[in-house]
Structure 1
Amino acid sequence: MNASLRALALAAALLGPAVVRAAEQPVQAPTPRPTAAALSPRLDAVEQALRGAEENLHSVETQYTQRAEPDDDEALARRYSDGEIHYQLGDWPAASVLFYDLVSDPRFRAHPRYPDALFYLADALLEQRNDIGARMYLRELLALPSSSGHYREALSRYLTVAGRLNYYDGIEEYVARARALSGGQLPPEIAYVHAKWLFRRTDLSPADRIAQARAAFTPLARSPQGPFRFQAAYHLGVLSVQEGDLPAAITRFQQLATPPSAQAAQVAPGKTGPRRSTPTPEEQALRVRELALMSLGRLLYETGRFDEALDHYGQVPRDSESFPDSLYESAWVHVRQGDYQQAKNALDILVLVAPDSQLASEGRILQGNLLQKLRRYDEATDTYTRVIDIFRPAREQVDALLGSHTDPVAYFDKLLVRTDGPLDMRSALTPLALKYATTQREVEDAVRMVEELDSSRRGREEAAAIARRILDALDTRGLESFPELQEANTRADAVDTALAQADAELVRVETLALEGVLTPAERARLAEARAAREALERRFSALPTTLKALEARRERMQRRVDEVDLETHRLDFEVQSLHAIAASVRKWVEDSRPHRRTPPDEEREFLLQLQAEVQTLKDLQAELTAVRARLADERNAVDTTLAGERELRAAYADALRREHALLAAAEPRADADAVATLRRSQAARGRLDGMRGRVTAARAVVRERLERQGRVIREKVVAEQQRLERYEAELAAVSGDARQLMGRVAYDSVRRVRQQFYDLVLKADVGLVDVAFNEKQDKTTAIQTLSMQKDEALRELDAEFQDVLSEVKE
């Protein structure tokens, strides 16, 4: 007992000061629990947020998930409307793609607008110079029982394409059908195109061709107010020339050469589609008159009626493309008349108005000859020298080009198929030689053919790459491939985020309402769950919850993509510049080989290093191309859910559910004031859960439509890939033959250019020799004349002074 008392006394002595200090501090009252009235504004805010989410969810449902998808007919009609808009705007590539998709769809073949789609597709291909594709679809259109009012236009275009391709099978059947549809007589626009087609045919004998073409043009020319009477009359005149009946041709051209005021030109061009530069009736009449004047001048020159020829040449307007020809030909008329000064005057004007034309070079040679005739030898020498200075360096360059390669045909073939430069001869020829080469018809046709084949190859590669990207997007990026479904899903995510934030606020309100009835253990578990939620809250609060926030995020992401795309564009330009430099270096090495003394081993090592650099550039180019393609995908997918966003939303919702479950266990112990708050919270939560169910249903609809539309697109893409594989095999076969042909045509063209330059330089050299010889002859003649005059004067002096001399002798 005493021991216990001593222990208590000792403890009191030790704890006394602390107990006293504790007793002296004021006692803090517990924080009062918020009342229902205090928490009511927060619940009002939650209900307001739920109303906003309800409006956004209703918008998602009405605009996307609950709206009936268009049926096949409506989808086809929409696609047709889009294609027609692009066609009317003159966007031929886009129009051809849309209409090709339509006409290749078996479901569209029974559609009433199928003939229209065929015509628009063929016309769009025709505008892109795809004659083969246009001919195929025009032929299919012409074979239909009904062409929906496009038969005339389709036949007109088909005849044009047939003339270009020299393809004549089956045309007479189409013409007979058009004649039957028009009551036995072809419409003027069809009749004119058909007559031109007959005029250009190469599969008939000359006599048959002339007879058939004359029979086709004659009715058009005799029509008093016919829209093509002038053009038809001109062709009849040309047929007379081809037949050798020059008087009839002169009579025909004289009728056409009347002044424009006397021609009631009413040329009505047919329908040619949108955005085309069709000549006006007055322009067509003027052009026919210019051609008639030129033809008259030539025929009158041939028949020796020189004054009349000059009169008609002089009527050609100065702004006409035939004006330089009229000057050159009138100069020859003056030469035939012996009026060399007038001939030179005409050539002076020619050199002024068309100094860079091939005609001007021939005119300078003739000009030098005329100056010789006029005995202006210094000017003639200057003229010939100018021609030599222009064409001799170009001829030597062409000679070096042809002589520096053992197989020039292979060289041109290799040059034209390079992938690191333009598909032409600009890198091989001087501008002057290139101008003379490309003005030849067969070279133009060959270059265009190879360019079209190369364009087809690039198009096939691009189409194959697009197909791979589409399939990859369907496999890995799902919603991004369907903007409408992506928009619906993005808006549903925004609603889900808004609901989660409302749920979080309800949890906070419930926590405050139940704070007083929670046990220490419940508080600890609740604090742990709250800490887990708050760790996610900062990231979660940045997610958009409204359409305005979604738009702001879209703009931010778009700006970032644009910045990166701008940088890739700059890098792409630099890589292309380096490609051009490498091509120039290689070209210099090849062309300068005959003039250098570089050891072969050293040159080979340099070319290998250059090839390695070119390969590096190609790798960089491919990488940049891939990056730009990825950026194009990202630009179209700026609304895509950010990486981890859906997982963040799910984790945040789980944390809220854990908190709510802990609070639900304490709800039975709540007092009356807390129960009022909890009832409002439960009512709001019921609305919230219902809206979550609708969000889930909306996402299910989006997924179902995504799978269905993705399956349809996948089937189309796979089918197109199979077509591309077949097309690639056909293109490879045709391209090989075409490139070999192109090398031969280019070689022959360069040889002809070289011969032209040689002839011009030779004529100028001969002209210089003639000048020197004529000048010598003139001086010799002058000396001889002076000598004769001297002798005559001496004889006269002798005779005059004969008497004087005789007297002197005596």
Structure 2
Amino acid sequence: MKTRLLLLACASLLLLPSVSAADPLDKVNDSVSALDFALKRLEAVIASAKKVQLGKQHDDMQRFLNGIYLLKNNRPQDAAALFLSLISHPTLGKEATFYLSEAMFTSANYLVAADYYWMVVEQRWDPAFRSKAIKRLLEISIKTQSYRGIEKLVELVEQMPELKDSPEVNYARGKFAYYQAYEEFQKPAGERREAWANDKFLEALRFFDKIGPTLDKDRKKVFPLLYPQAVYFSGAALVRMGQVGATSFVRAGKTVNLTKYTTSLGEMREMLLFEAVRRFSVLASDTVIQKWIQKVPAQAGEEEIKYFEPRNDEEKEVQALSRMALGRIFYELGETGEAVRWYKLISDKSPHYEDALYEMAWVYVREEEVMKAAETLAIMEVRNRNSVFLPRARLLLGYLNVRGERWAEANKAFSDTATRYKAVHLQIKELMEKQLDLKAFFDQITRKKEEVAGSGKDADKKTVFRLQYAIPPEAIPLFQEDQTLMKAILVTEDITGIGENLEHARDSLLMIKRRLQSASKIGLFPLLADTRTKTYEMEIKNVETRAELLKVARAQFARHITGNTASQLKKAEEDRQKLEKDVKTMPRSTDSLANRLASRRKVFDEKILAVDNLIKDLQGYQQLVSGMYEYYKKQKPERQKKLAPLLVQLQEESSEIESGLEMARSVRAKIMDASLTVGVDDADMEAERRVRTQYRSAIAAEFAVWSSIRGKLSSAEMVLFDKMVTLMQNADAVDRRLDDLNGKLQALADERLAKIKEEITVEEANLKAYEVQYLQYKQQSGQINELITAESIRLIARHFHDVVVESDLGIVDVNWSQRSKTRLEWIRLNDRNKQITNEMKNRYREVEDNLIEFDEERYADPFVTKAEPKEGEKPKPGTSESGKPGAGGQP
């Protein structure tokens, strides 16, 4: 019994190793299965990699959908880049052309957008898109005041019933008819077709009247988007018709003949103006205007006026313009109280507020309300010291004080105006004599030349405005109101933008060429680099799986190692352990690879940051030196002689700083070049791969020693060992697949690099051609812009010169007015004095004449220039140059 128990115990001990070996093999099997699954996914990605361009997984449809997304999320320029690459696509091209037009329109590139909209119209592929394109073209013609091709669009609209009566089309056609009539009446009287132009005004009114409110399902009025603009231009057309002597107008589609009510052209003109009041009042949102509307006869079946409340900023501006129009109409009609009321309704936040103040001041002048006019002009000056109206307003204030006989105030107003604007005129004249950098000059006018405040490491994020030219702030609004100059600025900005884009393209190509010199070819492509790091991690895990199998073998079969086999196993283990030390120093995951790359790049980033801080410090010091030089240069001539050595020293210092900046920029470029070549180096990866291959060979050699003792194993142990052999073969298969995958990655990288180099060659040639065209445009626009700028500066200098001259004349006028008033007062007092004297003579006739002291010079005109007496002749009292006593000259 004891013997049987002992045998059972021994049997159980023999079976324990096989039971304990089950768990490690299961884990190894799971690891190999997970590696196989992950590897299949990577192989699928690489198999489809040829369809992915430069590591981006976006095909044509995806790019198109991305463009739609960007366009809807207020990124029209990014969307335009995607649509531009698809306009030649066989299936998406036509739709991409329309959305490219929309992107250009949204980014305010109206002329470019118009060209692509015309392509959509001429393609005739989809009625819906064609209708939208026609509407946009009509809208662009209105925005740009360019009616090129408008006749053709009108013909197309006539053939499209669904588009013919839309508000957009009616508004565009009405605006075009208004423009035609307006242009016709600008011609000389003998050359214009007045009847035709009047018909065009009536046609414009018909189109504008078609744009009216509709009723929704709840019977509430709904106004179209262009309703306020249509109403405003209908009122403007009526004002123009009143100026040219029209005898009829259109209301609600019906012609109203004014000859039925009166034969007086003056009354007809007033009725047209009151009809304009009727239209403008719809937008002005004021029911008090009803009493004026009743002066125009109502038509049978006519609806009441539909008052309109603005819904956005654009419509609020239309409302302000309508109120300005009402103020001007009532001023023209002599209803100054109503004119002032409408001017006062304009909000102080409106861009037309200053216009309203200036015009309201003239209304007060007409009514001889001097104090109110002066208060209005004072409000204007407090609100904006650089207003374009302010010079004329100051002169007007001076003349108002003259009219009110406030001589001191008038003299002060004219003197201050002359002093202030004389300095402005001199500054503008200095600009005329300078050779201007147009880009800097335009940036200063449009307030775009901003730089970061401060310099160096401690520079804050605030921006300040840098002044390169002494442009007086009083002249800035006048420059901004010069439409020709503003167009020149826009052209310059566009050409400058093209130049910056070309420079950016040049830098991008140069950067790509530098990156191509990187030791890591695969690292240039995000998808390939990401795949390689994953294969790296999988290879490490596969090596760990092999090492785990060796641990299982040692635990299960160590007792069978004897004699020569033991020495072979010991040597194989030593070889493996030597290599294992090198393997442990390698990165073991994608995260560790990323950290290694970041640590390498960090060195370059720190050096670049140090150079950037140095450049900022040098730029700050350069600004300080330049400021000191400009300050000392503007000193008086006698002081400049003493400061001459200092000025020379500052110039030398500035040139040394510039040399230092050039050197710092050169060093930065070299560091940047070096940083671009940093990556997960192909050579490093290959060296680590060789180490891992040797490690795998060492594991295989050690496992071969274990395989040599298979004949000594029991049947249960043989089953376990065979499972281990199968797992080792699976690990070998994984290694072969990883090697094949890495080979494909390298081949893909080489193929992509060859293609990129070809594209770079093509792009460099294109870039050179673009640069030639850019230089031509830049030269042409530069010559034209110089002429435009010089003319604009000359006109503005003339403007301030006229203001100064008028101010000086105002001072003279004050003095002459004072003299005239004083002389009149002297005449009145002198006459009174003579009358009293005569009365005294008559009363005291008995007193002898020789006892009366009477001095004729006392009553002489003090303003008369006295005649010089001849030699030896005593001058006669009260005798003027003409020899006539008391005949004073005119002031």
TM-score computed with the length of structure 2 as normaliser: 0.71
1:260 aligns with 2:285: yes
Structure 2 CA distance, aligned partners of 1:785 and 1:633? 100
Alpha-carbon spacing, 1:534–1:400, altered in 2? closer, same or farther (3 Å)? same
1:653 aligned residue:
693
CA contact under 8 A between 2:540 and 2:588: conserved in structure 1? Answer: yes
1:233 aligned residue:
234
- The one-character-per-residue Cα deviations of 1:413-453 (angstroms, maximum 9, x if unpaired) are 5966999x959995223341334323321221111210110
My pick for the range that moved more, 600-609 or 791-800, is: 600-609
My pick for the range that moved more, 670-679 or 180-189, is: 670-679
1:396 aligns with 2:426: yes
1:124 aligned residue:
103
CA contact under 8 A between 1:218 and 1:236: conserved in structure 2? Answer: yes
CA contact under 8 A between 2:618 and 2:657: conserved in structure 1? Answer: no
CA contact under 8 A between 1:365 and 1:383: conserved in structure 2? Answer: yes
| CA displacement at 1:82 relative to structure 2 | 0.9
CA contact under 8 A between 1:234 and 1:288: conserved in structure 2? Answer: no
The one-letter code of the counterpart of 1:747 is A
Structure 2 CA distance, aligned partners of 1:708 and 1:266? 66
| CA displacement at 1:361 relative to structure 2 | 2.6
1:276 aligned residue:
none
| CA displacement at 1:197 relative to structure 2 | 5.1
SS at match of 2:85: helix
The aligned runs of 1:430-579 (5 Å cut-off) are: 430-432=471-473, 433-470=475-512, 473=515, 476=518, 478-507=521-550, 510=553, 513=557, 516-518=562-564, 522=568, 525-526=571-572, 529-530=575-576, 532-540=578-586, 542-544=587-589, 573-574=616-617, 577=620
Alpha-carbon spacing, 1:430–1:284, altered in 2? closer, same or farther (3 Å)? closer
| CA displacement at 1:174 relative to structure 2 | 3.1
CA contact under 8 A between 1:579 and 1:617: conserved in structure 2? Answer: no
1:220 aligned residue:
207
SS at match of 2:805: helix
1:738 aligns with 2:738: no
1:750 aligned residue:
793
The one-letter code of the counterpart of 1:260 is S
The runs of 5 or more residues in structure 1 that have no matched partner are: 1-33, 268-279
The aligned runs of 1:115-514 (5 Å cut-off) are: 115-147=94-126, 149-159=128-138, 161=140, 169-182=148-161, 185=164, 187-196=166-175, 206=187, 207=192, 210=197, 214=201, 217-223=204-210, 225=212, 227=224, 228=227, 229-237=230-238, 239-240=240-241, 243=244, 247=270, 250-258=273-281, 259-260=284-285, 264=306, 281=311, 287-299=317-329, 301=331, 306=336, 309-310=339-340, 312-403=342-433, 408=434, 410-412=435-437, 422=449, 426-432=467-473, 433-470=475-512, 473=515, 476=518, 478-507=521-550, 510=553, 513=557
**Comparing both structures, which one devotes a greater share of its residues to helix?**
1
| CA displacement at 1:796 relative to structure 2 | 5.0
- The one-character-per-residue Cα deviations of 1:199-256 (angstroms, maximum 9, x if unpaired) are 5579978557956863652223222616433133134236436746664762343122
Alpha-carbon spacing, 1:715–1:587, altered in 2? closer, same or farther (3 Å)? farther
The one-letter code of the counterpart of 1:391 is Y
1:50 aligns with 2:96: no
Residue of 69, 85, 91 corresponding to 1:110: 91
2:69 aligned residue:
85
My pick for the range that moved more, 393-402 or 562-571, is: 562-571
CA contact under 8 A between 2:424 and 2:800: conserved in structure 1? Answer: yes
CA contact under 8 A between 1:188 and 1:220: conserved in structure 2? Answer: no
% of aligned pairs identical? 17
1:617 aligned residue:
661
Alpha-carbon spacing, 1:248–1:418, altered in 2? closer, same or farther (3 Å)? closer
2:455 aligned residue:
none
CA contact under 8 A between 1:253 and 1:292: conserved in structure 2? Answer: no
Residue of 22, 42, 46 corresponding to 1:60: 42
Structure 1 CA distance, aligned partners of 2:339 and 2:701? 109
CA contact under 8 A between 1:156 and 1:194: conserved in structure 2? Answer: no
- The one-character-per-residue Cα deviations of 1:77-114 (angstroms, maximum 9, x if unpaired) are 111111111111111221121112222xx3x2432xx3
Structure 1 CA distance, aligned partners of 2:109 and 2:676? 28
| CA displacement at 1:607 relative to structure 2 | 6.1
Structure 2 CA distance, aligned partners of 1:740 and 1:79? 41
| CA displacement at 1:454 relative to structure 2 | 0.6
2:713 aligned residue:
672
SS at match of 1:375: coil
SS at match of 2:405: coil
| CA displacement at 1:500 relative to structure 2 | 2.0
CA contact under 8 A between 1:237 and 1:249: conserved in structure 2? Answer: yes
| CA displacement at 1:633 relative to structure 2 | 9.6
Structure 1 CA distance, aligned partners of 2:706 and 2:692? 22
Structure 1 CA distance, aligned partners of 2:466 and 2:122? 42
- The one-character-per-residue Cα deviations of 1:631-676 (angstroms, maximum 9, x if unpaired) are 7998xx8xx5786134213322223303522551563245427866
SS at match of 1:644: helix
CA contact under 8 A between 1:152 and 1:190: conserved in structure 2? Answer: no
CA contact under 8 A between 1:371 and 1:377: conserved in structure 2? Answer: yes
CA contact under 8 A between 2:177 and 2:204: conserved in structure 1? Answer: no
Structure 2 CA distance, aligned partners of 1:415 and 1:130? 24
CA contact under 8 A between 1:116 and 1:148: conserved in structure 2? Answer: no
2:60 aligned residue:
76
Structure 2 CA distance, aligned partners of 1:443 and 1:779? 50
CA contact under 8 A between 1:479 and 1:486: conserved in structure 2? Answer: yes
Structure 2 CA distance, aligned partners of 1:441 and 1:416? 16
The one-letter code of the counterpart of 1:744 is L
**Alignment RMSD:** 4.8
Greater length-normalized contact order (CA 8 Å, ≥ 6 residues apart): 1
SS at match of 2:532: helix
Alpha-carbon spacing, 1:171–1:707, altered in 2? closer, same or farther (3 Å)? farther
| CA displacement at 1:733 relative to structure 2 | 1.0
CA contact under 8 A between 2:147 and 2:176: conserved in structure 1? Answer: no
